[in-house]
Amino acid sequence: MYMEKLYYTIGEVSRMLGENTSLIRFWSNSFSKFVKPKRNAKGNRLYTREDLDTLKQIHFLVKDQGMTLEGAAGRLASDRRAVDARVKTLDSLKEIRRQLTEVKKSL
């Protein structure tokens, strides 16, 4: 049975989002009201699942929707559930595409 991690490193988060670590660090600092990574003894950022979901929402708003950082922060503050629903739908569609690609390769 798969068990979800409690914390993700900045490298893991950057791979999941397909962005470099410096952008994840920048977003963490710019959206500190929404993203609150913990720090380990070395001072490295450790992100929770909630932080990861928020970063996915920021990625969607900034990269996919073309919003400014200020606009994205405003949207997160005012209508976060709608943004989350769209992000989860896109994640589901990407997973379906991945599965279909695997099926096609096996034919």
Mean pLDDT score of the chain: 90
| For residue 1, pLDDT beyond 80 | no
What pTM does this model have? 0.77
- Tens of pLDDT, residue by residue over 40-73, are 999 999 999 999 999 999 999 999 999 999 999 9
CA-closest candidate to residue 24, choices 60, 5, 52, 66? 52
| For residue 95, pLDDT beyond 90 | no
Q: What is the per-residue pLDDT for 42?
A: 94
| For residue 85, pLDDT beyond 60 | yes
Q: Average pLDDT for residues 65-94, to the nearest whole number? A: 86
Rounded to an integer, what distance in angstroms lies between the CA atom of residue 33 and that of residue 9?
19
CA-closest candidate to residue 52, choices 96, 85, 15, 89? 15
Q: What is the per-residue pLDDT for 41?
A: 93
**Domains parsed from the chain with CATH numbers:** 8-106 (1.10.1660.10)
Angle at CA of residue 20, ends 18 and 23, nearest 5° = 110
